[in-house]
Structure 1
Amino acid sequence: MIVTYPFSAVVGLADLKLALVLNAVSPRVGGVLVRGEKGTAKSTIVRALAAQLPPVDVVAGCRFACDPAAPGDECPDGPHEPGEQWLRRPASLVELPVGASEDRLAGSLDVERALTEGVKAFEPGLLAAAHRGVLYVDEVNLLHDHLVDLLLDAAALGICYVERESVSVRHAARFLLVGTMNPEEGELRPQLLDRFGLTVKVKASRDPAERAEVVRRRLAFDADPGAFAGRWTAEESALAERIAQARARVPGVRLPDVRLTQIATVCAAFEVDGLRADLVTANAAIAHAAWQGRDVVTTEDVRAAARLSLPHRRRRDPFDAPGLDESLLEDLLARTSEDERPDGPDGPDGPGGPGGAGGADGPGGADGPGDPGGPDDPGGAGGPDYPGGSGGPGGPGCADGAGDPAASGPDRPDGGPRDAVPGYPAGTHLQDPAEERPRGPSRGTSGGSGQDGPASSAAGSGQVAVVAEPYRVPLLKVPGLGEGVAGRRSRARTSQGRATGSRSPAGRVRDLHLPATVLAAAPYQKERGRTGPGLLLREGDLREVVREGREGNLVLFVVDASGSMAARKRMTAVKTAVLSLLLDAYQRRDKIGLVTFRGTTAELALPPTSSVEAGAARLRSLPTGGRTPLAAGLARAAEVLRVERLRDPARRPLLVVVTDGRATSGGDVDRAAALLGGTASVVVDCESGPVRLGLAVRLARRLRAPAISLDSLSDLGSVVRDYRKAG
């Protein structure tokens, strides 16, 4: 028997525990997205949550976990009659592997039985198994697009549809969606990101004592899982009981109009898209009130909910990291509480009320330090390891461990105005945390002190130019037909797309090509003894569909950062062009890498990754100056591509060289270019001025690549014409 690490034994991570508990209390909250660095117990705590969920009643023998009190009318195993046998079982935890197929997720028809036995047999998938339980996706940001589309449909409708070979099957699929991800590997599609009700950013503690306690407990668990789990039985039982009580309390929790207006004001002020944020925040506030033992939602519940439900809905472009201006949140909550509180400062939300210092969240409240602790937890149940506890650094429901509202987030560093929001004077301006970094020529140099003043690099050498707003760029493709990961750039054979032919299956049939199967079997009907109308099939007759779609590529940027490019206006144009191409790579599901060269060497500034956010950050801080080792840059690119071919041979590369073609150091350019023979390439010509030497065009000929003028890159029509002409 596999023993799961106890939920109560996880050290720290108060925000994550609270987010998971709120979803356990009320599934309407809509799931949790856990963002954080590797090795922070993201998977451990999610798996531990399942043991704390209340058990569910299911119809005996139903593969779709139908509720005996309200069985689904369209259940494929139904119809279920009243009074059928039922059983109680633990809530399911279903893990969706990143490399799963569409059939494994949604379920599939047993095509072989359908053809050979003449029966319509449906095999349920992971969505059916996760119904009324938890669907956990580790590395959710690496999930393929076609699986993301299925998840979006199921999460929005609560129903899984399978339409295939003239057979229609649908079944209920309502689940708690929990995803974990490392932002360094890339971001989620906005549609899927919005489907997660709450988001939590986790990182390892820098406190040596807390880190030591983590290791101590983990070693004890690895040495004897059963004995370690046994020491936490009382805490686990108490937590499960409290979740069950809170879940039963949820229907009776009242959301006053004052609090609803407060939620709407906060969401409007933070300019979130749509109304899902308002609904999620309201449901999370209700769940938080039930968890704290209250029957009425207070400002403290709204605060805890907003800190978890809004950060990932504040992003304005793919290069923005999720975040929340908590000083503005506190101002909004304070103003709405002051304007609408009927009883003054000592009313329901004042110091003496349920949300105040003497209430359920205060030192003597339900989660105060006086609660009993576990055998290894000196802080007690209300300490840093308990959801909602006030003993941890983050306090009850704090995002990112910010317990003190006054210290929970910096105000505007420039002292500038805010956007027009309720409670602020007309004409004020709301600060987006993402706007604190430079976005255009008028916002100063990245890392510098002003628009025109030089900025030093981290190494103290070179200048850093500004980056303007990105623009739309043309579609640059790898020629030929690939077989890489599904994406949106180059032509490829993929599991999604239009049918272009058929083939014999390598294993089980996943996508039957019915006409080809019939044609393969037709010549042998007489010798097989066919006498009736049915078609006699053999396993060798089956054919799969060959589909053509688009793939994602490895786009490797090789950027000239030498002195010849260091003229500020020219380097601003170069950085903006590369940033625009990065944004295009994000939208087309590419991996990206960045090689820069200046002085005497070339540097791999960004190893190939799916995180365009990381690429944009490296680009903005890229210093320039020095000589031009063009050959070294090309040689470094060839080495990077060689290694990546070994790691991911199916992903085809596209090399984008951004240079004026000058070479003043670093070796023989022709020999370096020969190392890249056969690699699909594009040269962005940065040469400017009335007299041009055509060096970048000459490099493009060596690479057998089209050359695109930097000045015309933002002119989509001219670039497409130049690209097609050169290609």
Structure 2
Amino acid sequence: MVPTFPFSAVVSPGDAADMAQALLLCAVSPEIGGVLVRGEKGTAKSTTVRALAALLPPVTVVPDCRFSCDPAAPDPACPDAAAHRPGAVERPARLVELPVGATEDRVIGSLHLQRALAAGVTEYEPGLLAAAHRGLLYVDEVNLLHDHLVDLLLDAAAMGRSTVERDGVSVAHAARFVLVGTMNPEEGELRPQLLDRFGLTVEVAAPRDAGARAEVVRRRLAFDADPDAFTAAWGPADRELAARIAAARAALPAVELPDAALAAIAAVCTAFDVDGMRADIVTARAAVAHAAWHGRERVGREDIRAAARLALPHRRRRNPFDAPGLDEELLDRILDGQDLDPEPPQGRARGDEQPAGDGADPADQPEQAERPDDAGAGDAAARSAGSADGPAAGTGPQDPAEDPGRPADTAAGTDGTDGTAGTGGTAGQGRPVGPGPQAGTAGDPFRTRLFAVRGVGAGEAGRRSRAVTSTGRTVGAEPFGGGTGPVHLTATVRAAAPHQLARGRTGPGLVLAGRDVRLAVREGRESNLVLFCVDASGSMGARARMDQVRTAVLSLLLDAYQRRDKVGLVTFRGSEATLVLPPTGSVDVAARRLAELPVGGRTPLAEGLLLAGETVRRERIRDPRRRPLLVVVTDGRATAGQDAVARSLRVAGHLARSGVSSLVLDCETGRFRMGLARGLSRALQAELVPLAGVRADEVAGAVRAREVA
């Protein structure tokens, strides 16, 4: 067995305090509903989650029950109920990992195909949800999980059971687990329905302190050099944490939640205007768990504050552009106004012992004081430690400029140091070229019409255009020809049935040949890439045009978030082009990139088209089945460099020959028009849409109305 990096080695004074505390609270009280950990890559998210499993108390199960029934209260509807034997068996708590590429059959289980074909027996083979019952279900990169798997998780989380009705199987079994997800917000956001199912959420970031980073590397190298010795050295600290979790679980039922505490929780949730009642329930459960963890018999102010900081930030978001966070000054004012115990909460009843290691426990850390520049965003970003490949040991204070959830109107500005848009750059490199006049802010995003690609494609799974995908409804079957996909059982049996006598079948079961196998053909929805290439030069109306185009891009991105599309933005001005917004589905990143766009200078149209073509080429390598639509927003002028117009037309012709589907939005205004955009549209073999002033709703409407051939 490969040693796991110890939980205590990840946790030390000041590092990953919120992440560790949230995980430990869910270990004490699984009813909290799990944890979502958001943060940049290399911040020990996965390492910390995997290390937690070793601290969980063992689970007592019915012998030989594949569904982990509790001997004290076995599930009467368990599919293995007829085979239950008296007695009890103790086994370690499970950490079941759900890969983002898992199939539906693997998640919920399905017909045992080998038994069905060989013996003609209908037998259910459990999936990952059954294995995770009474344990942890961990989804790394949960924001990349396909929608059909998200639906399965939502059903199981809501009902506590998994129901399977397929392939002649009708089974329902208990599926109660602690759902833990990790994600990098730059790779896209999470569906609101699934986000709300996570009881707690935390933000993590790599340490900015040199000493903390050095300690991260030191521990990682020590673990890699001798995992057994490193794990043994941290064994006492891990065992102490495990004992404390078990003690807190045992004390949990006796913790009192007085009416004053309930009133305070309700006041906090009301003041922060959260939707529904789940926030109140989760906060109450987390507060009780926090009190039990600290050995207190009664929930107090400190417990409510700690619970609210973890349970409310992600429930305050009204749309994906809202930053996850909590105003802790407001939280303190609300709690100060409640009639809670005036005396400070007492320490742990069993003493002030602390785990080994760095001499401090993450859940005992004093609450971090709010930084002046974080007002309104709270302290949702937890301090974390991380190495390039996982475990961490310590952190320094988080840099406010690194907050991934800052809204567009407060995003770090325009110096280009944090990757936000604000200055020009070399095409494809983003090198600053100096300050320039800035366009105004974008308007409020608006709802857009549905844009569906004509016909049936074969792109990445999404929620927009019809396509043959790995998910969706089964519309037919095709012979197995070395492809991949689910087996169409009925079609396979139907293909084999006429040949049974010729193959000498004499008993039960089915005699199959390779040519009988049929794969299911499923029709679902695909996602697309909409790439804007926008003239940001000093041409007539450029400033107003940029405001409206930016609003349209934000609106398209909001729609893309809901439909799992990608949206990108290239701007060109001066003598260079800049990839302001790399193709993404992350609305948080988009809000920062689009906060400020520079305007002014000459018009390097050819450079903009070249960078757009290079961006499409790279995306085709990453997502070869995702069909792009290039939207060129220009008045057709090209004034940068010698023979600028002819060069732009040559680049446009190359894009057309490479199969890029395009749309040209003509922004030329004034009484006398040169009609230069028409020549560009002909070279691109694109539809020309004249838009006076480029109203944002017209931009989005034109994109939605365009059908990709």
TM range (shorter): 0.7 to 0.9
Cα shift at 1:123: 1.6
Q: Closer, same or farther in 2 for the Cα pair 1:508/1:476, shift >3 Å? A: closer
Q: Secondary structure at the match of 1:702?
A: helix
Q: What is the aligned residue count?
A: 659
- Could you list the per-position Cα deviations for residues 633-663 of structure 1 after superposition, in whole angstroms to 9, with x for gaps in the alignment? 1111111222222233222222222222222
Cα distance, 1:630–1:251 mapped onto 2, change above 3 Å: same
Contact 2:451 2:705 in 1 (8 A): no
From 296, 299, 318, the counterpart of 2:298: 296
Q: Could you say what secondary structure the match of 1:657 adopts?
A: strand
The answer for the alignment partner of 2:68 in structure 1 is 65
Question: Does 2:495 match 1:520?
Answer: yes
Match of 2:612 among 637, 641, 644: 637
Three-state SS of the structure 2 residue aligned to 1:265 is helix
**Residue 584 (str. 1) matches residue 571 (str. 2):** no
Cα separation, partners in 2 of 1:66 and 1:329, compared to 1, 3 Å = same
Matches within 5 A, 1:465-614: 465-505=440-480, 511-513=486-488, 516-528=491-503, 537-564=512-539, 567-614=542-589
Q: Given that residues 110 and 120 in structure 1 are in contact (C-alpha distance below 8 angstroms), is that contact kept between their aligned partners in structure 2?
A: yes
Provide the residue aligned with 1:4 in structure 2: 4
Distance change in 2, residues 1:505/1:111 (3 Å): farther
Q: Please state if 1:150 is matched with 2:152.
A: yes
Q: CA RMSD in A?
A: 3.1
CA separation in 1, counterparts of 2:205 and 2:7?
18
Q: 1:46 aligns with which of 38, 43, 49?
A: 49
The one-letter amino acid paired with 2:686 is A
Alignment partner of 1:22 is 2:25: yes
Q: Is residue 408–residue 594 contact of structure 2 (8 Å, CA) maintained in 1?
A: no
Matches within 5 A, 1:302-313: 302-313=304-315
**TM-fit CA distance, 1:178:** 0.6
Query: Structure 1 residues 85, 372: closer, same or farther in 2, change over 3 A?
Result: closer
**CA deviations over 1:655-679 (Å, ceiling 9, x no partner):** 2222222222253122111221211
**Aligned-partner SS, 2:90:** strand
Q: In the alignment, what sits opposite 2:34?
A: 31
Paired position in structure 2 for 1:452: none
Match of 2:100 in 1: 98
Aligned pair 1:349/2:342, yes or no?
yes
Once the two structures are TM-superposed, the CA of residue 152 in structure 1 deviates from its matched residue by: 0.9
1:327 is matched with which residue? 329
Match 1:714 to one of 689, 697, 701:
697
Aligned mates of 1:183, 1:435 — CA distance in 2? 12
1:8 partner amino acid: S
CA contact (8 A) 2:407 2:588 kept: no
Relative to 1, partners in 2 of residues 1:139 and 1:514: Cα closer, same or farther, differing over 3 Å? closer
Look up the equivalent residue of 1:87 and give its one-letter code: V
3-state SS of paired residue (1:214)? helix
Q: Deviations over 1:13-60 (max 9, x none)?
A: 111111000000000111011111111111111111001111000112
Q: TM-score of the superposition, structure 1-length normalised?
A: 0.84
Q: Larger deviation: 278-287 or 652-661? A: 652-661
1:312-346 Cα offsets, whole Å, 9 max, x none, are 1111221222111111111111112xxx24xxxxx
Shift of 1:686: 2.7
Query: Structure 2: how far apart are the matches of 1:15 and 1:445?
Result: 24
Offset of residue 79 of structure 1:
2.9
Distance 1:528 1:76 in 2: 35
Structure 1 residues 448-496: Cα deviation after superposition (integer angstroms, max 9, x where no partner) = 9xxxxxx998842222321001112233344554323210223321122
> Does the residue aligned with 2:552 lie in a helix, a strand or coil?
helix
3-state SS of the aligned residue for 1:136?
strand
User: Is the contact between residue 556 and residue 700 of structure 2 (CA under 8 Å) also seen in structure 1?
Assistant: no
CA gap 1:225/1:517 in 2 versus in 1, 3 angstroms: closer
CA distance in 1, matches of 2:557, 2:173: 40
> Which residue identity is paired with 1:675?
H
Moved more, 41-50 or 318-327: 318-327
Alpha-carbon separation, structure 1, partners of 2:30 and 2:355 = 28
Distance 1:698 1:276, change over 3 A: farther
CA 1:206 to 1:509, structure 2 compared with 1: closer, same or farther past 3 Å? closer
CA distance in 1, matches of 2:377, 2:234: 45
Cα gap change, 1:646 to 1:435, in 2 (>3 Å): closer
Matched, 1:438 2:438: no
Equivalent-residue separation in structure 1 for 2:608 and 2:423 (angstroms)? 23
SS in 2 for 1:496: coil
Report if the CA contact (8 A) 2:62-2:71 is conserved. yes
Q: What is the percent sequence identity of the aligned residues?
A: 60
5+ residue gaps in structure 2?
Answer: 379-403, 416-421, 425-431
Q: Could you tell me the TM-score, scaled by structure 2's length? A: 0.86
Contact 1:456 1:462 (8 Å CA) reproduced: no
SS of residue in 1 equivalent to 2:471:
strand
Shift of 1:684: 2.9
Give the superposition deviation at 1:571.
2.3
Shift of 1:116: 4.3
With over 3 angstroms needed to count, the CA separation of the structure-2 counterparts of 1:372 and 1:566, relative to structure 1, is same
Counterpart of 1:150, as a letter, is L
Secondary structure of the 1:684 match is strand
Pairs within 5 Å for 1:71-150: 71-79=74-82, 81=84, 84-150=86-152
Q: Relative contact order, CA 8 A, sep 6+: which one is greater?
A: 2
1:360 pairs with 2:353: no
Matched to 1:47, the amino acid is R
Q: Which residue of 1 aligns with 2:388?
A: none
- 1:466–1:121 CA distance, 2 compared to 1 (3 A): same
Range with greater deviation from structure 2 (273-282 or 200-209): 200-209
Deviation at 1:716, TM superposition (A): 9.7
Equivalent residue, structure 1, for 2:663: 682
> Which amino acid in the other structure matches residue 672 of structure 1?
V
Q: In the alignment, which residue of structure 2 is the partner of 1:164? A: 166
Please state how far the C-alpha of 1:291 moved relative to its aligned partner: 0.6
Q: Does 1:269 align with 2:291?
A: no
Amino acid at match of 1:77: D
Q: Is the 8 A contact 2:115 2:121 kept in 1?
A: yes
Distance 1:332 1:518, change over 3 A: same
Q: Which of 153, 176, 179 is the matching residue for 2:181?
A: 179
Does structure 1 retain, via aligned residues, the 8 Å contact 2:556–2:567?
A: no
Instruction: Go from structure 1 to structure 2 and tell me whether the alpha carbon gap of 1:508 and 1:693 turns closer, same or farther (over 3 Å shift).
Output: closer
